[in-house]
Amino acid sequence: MIGQEVFKNISEEACRALESVVGPEYLSTDPVLCSAYVGRGFDRQIFLFNEISRAPAAVIMPENTEQVARIVKVCNLYKIPFTPMSSYGMAFGGPNFRDDFLFIDLKRMNHMWLDEKNMYVVLEPAVYFAQMHGDTLKRGLIGCVPGGGGGTSVLANSLVNGMGLFNYRITYAAQRRWNGIEWVSPEGEIYRFGSLVAGDDSWFWQDGPGPNLSGLLHGITGWGGAMGIVTKMSTKLYPYPPRKLEPEGISYDSCVKLPEDREKWYNFSFSNEADVEKALDEIARARIGFIVNRVPSFWRDIARTRGDLAYRNRFWELWEPQTREEVSGRRILRVLLVGRSGQAELEYEERVLMDIVNENNGKLLKARQVDEASFFAVNSLGMWQPTGMFGDCDTGMETMKAIREMGERWRKRETEKEYTADFLDPKGDTPWYMAYNMGRLYYSELHAWPDAAQMDRGDKAEHKPGLEDRFMRWRVSEAGRIIIETGNQGFFYSLVTPVRVFAPALQNYDVWLDRMKAEFDPNGISAPGHPYIFDEIVDKVFPGAITDELKDAVKKVAEGPWNGNPEK
Ligand SMILES: Cc1cc2nc3c(=O)[nH]c(=O)nc-3n(C[C@H](O)[C@H](O)[C@H](O)COP(=O)(O)OP(=O)(O)OC[C@H]3O[C@@H](n4cnc5c(N)ncnc54)[C@H](O)[C@@H]3O)c2cc1C
């Protein structure tokens, strides 16, 4: 084993059995090495500051599917809880209130096989978006990079949401993009799904004889590692002009230059939301555009700042002098046009776009012809943490009407004193939203950004007492309630939401999760606690996060006619 040998939480006999699977250089129980695996990424602060994240008892790094299956069998034999990780961009898999779990780090499994002709790619867990796009773009094929950036695993992201800016053209549901899948069950059996029944090379289809089982692996928005380990996934790719996009600079001050013959960014300003909505509707009807996004003003100020250290100071210098009147009286629409069949298509789409914007009182602004957030998504994380922490990100998806109502409710609530005293003041311009599936669906995000230092209980000088409780109440009860009451579908239901609280409003999907879990993980060792860890966090650490108003809202939605109940 690597480093210090410690057998406090996992017995020496079990550790030796694990070591015999991967060899001594790929297992460690050293507390220093293990502490590197305490939650990182999205949501890490709330877990760290409140001592919810813990270090694993051991870390193991398998090389292939057979090793994964043998590790899981050893875990079942010795009843060792385990958590898989592909890139560990999202810390929600880490927290589990335990010290005795094995962390299965899949980063050695990083192969990819591209089938250019049939437009799909077979991926192991540790192939990241930037790596995949580096290869596929040259061959005229594209996937869908999520907001989490180019450093997240394509496979793990597909198990969760798989959503990003390209969803205007590419279906938003990652699950619909899957083909064949290889899975190690929580008991350590290897299964192959979909067209793989026709042979080991048949990765082309999600379906096959018999029922489609992909829902078992996806749950509602992922299992947080609680349903075994996906070791290979085939996912569809989509046509795009062949490109070798050259990076410039060093992250966080980097971008890719866009060749202007086929791609072009446009920024427009409008004075009100109604004009933006009309423009969006017409853009979708005209079947033009590749990315269509109503962005918040402060993203522009974040984008103007360069580099990491200077980033926050520069952002505040730009953002603070702007008044609420200025910001709320300006709406910015950002559009990427792509001439997929040639330059003539780009020119045509540009003419149509300009007509639509002019007819709806929009004004063309300057736009840099570079990309920082779509193809390789190198710097996109900056836009999620203007106050130094990821904060709250809740989402709603539905029609334009539902998104509009959600936005109006949120803006009204946000102007109330407590919100602006605790969180970044968005000055009446958020929530932002974008069109998916060529305008048939809209997606919007509700944020609350507290100051990172004020949230840190360990920071004696800066900590603001009670802020974390108000933050969690906002996140679970205020934002959560606005989303369900306006008929929107959330995006984080099994990830950073107390599942049991919201499930009655969503056809009690936890009943199905429980049934599947009991059937496939009888020892309960695959990421124990998940996908209900947020219920546990709220119960144990933030009991005030669930308000009576939220409980009433869930009850009202659960009893509505849309859930099969008689009309009242
Ligand atoms: C700031 C920010 C913004 C984001 N915005 C978006 C967005 O707009 N759209 C979007 O779709 N996503 C978004 N995400 C999510 C992100 O892009 C990834 O989908 C997410 O982090 C999961 O991928 P990962 O590589 O980080 O997985 P990991 O952190 O490695 O794992 C995520 C979970 O999946 C489990 N898991 C990992 N690998 C496997 C496996 N092989 N088999 C079974 N279970 C596994 C883990 O146990 C864990 O619970 C965002 C994340 C961040 C940090």
User: Residue 52 sits in a domain of what CATH number?
Assistant: 3.30.43.10
Ligand 1 neighbour 159 (Cβ under 6 A)? yes
Q: Which of 68, 86, 223 to mutate to test the pocket of ligand 1 (most atoms within 8 A of CB)?
A: 86
Report whether residue 395 contacts ligand 1, using a CB cutoff of 6 Å. Answer: no
pLDDT at 89 (0 to 100): 67
Q: Does ligand 1 lie within 6 Å of residue 293's CB atom?
A: no
Pair (506, 473) in one structural domain: no
Is 250 inside a domain boundary? no
Shared domain for 267 and 355, answered yes or no, is yes
426 Cβ closer than 6 Å to some ligand 1 atom: no
* Tens-place pLDDT, residues 479-510: 999 999 999 998 888 778 899 999 999 999 99
Q: What is the pLDDT of residue 295?
A: 94
pLDDT in tens, 109-120: 999 999 999 999
E strand intervals along 58-184: 58-60, 82-85, 102-105, 112-115, 120-123, 141-142, 178-184
Q: Which domain holds residue 74?
A: 12-105
Would the CB of 224 count as within 6 Å of ligand 1?
yes
For residue 91 and ligand 1, the question of a CB distance below 6 A is answered with: no
- Among 459, 485, 511, the domain boundary falls at 485
Same domain, 263 and 190: no
Chosen domain end from 190, 205, 239 = 239
pLDDT higher at 372 or 32: 32
Any atom of ligand 1 within 6 Å of the Cβ of 339 = no
My answer on whether 432 and 380 are in the same domain is yes
Q: Is residue 125 domain-shared with residue 151, that is, in the same domain? A: yes
**Which amino acid, one-letter code, is at 45?**
Q
Task: Identify whether residues 396 and 530 lie together within a single domain.
Answer: no
Residue 182 CA, ligand 1 centroid: distance in Å:
18
Q: What's the pLDDT score for residue 517?
A: 96
Å from CA of 16 to ligand 1 middle: 31
pLDDT of residue 211: 86
Q: Strand order of the sheet with strand 363-365? A: 363-365, 263-270, 331-338, 291-295, 433-436, 441-448, 392-398
Cβ 89 under 6 angstroms from ligand 1: yes
Per-residue CA distances from 434 to 292, 376, 399 (Å): 6, 19, 11
What tokens appear for 167 in the block?
């969803």
Question: From the CA atom positions of the chain, what is the Rg in Å?
Answer: 24
What is the mean predicted confidence (pLDDT) over 519-526? 97
What is the residue with the minimal CA distance to atom 7 of ligand 1? Answer: 147
Whether residues 345 and 196 share a domain: the answer is no
Residue 7 covered by a domain: no
Give yes or no: residues 342 and 432 share one domain.
yes
The two tokens of residue 163 are 């959503």
Which of 171, 206, 239 is the last residue before a domain boundary? 239
Number of domains in the chain: 4
Note whether residue 248 is domain-resident: no
- Residue 157 CA, closest ligand 1 atom number: 19
In a domain, 494, yes or no: no
Q: Which is the closest atom of ligand 1 to the Cα of 230?
A: 42
Task: Check whether residue 378 and residue 398 sit in a common domain.
Answer: yes
Instruction: Confirm or reject: Cβ of 90 under 6 Å from ligand 1.
Output: yes
> For ligand 1, what atom is nearest to the CA of residue 183?
42
H-only helix segments in 65-151: 65-78, 129-136
**437 and 307 in a common domain:** yes
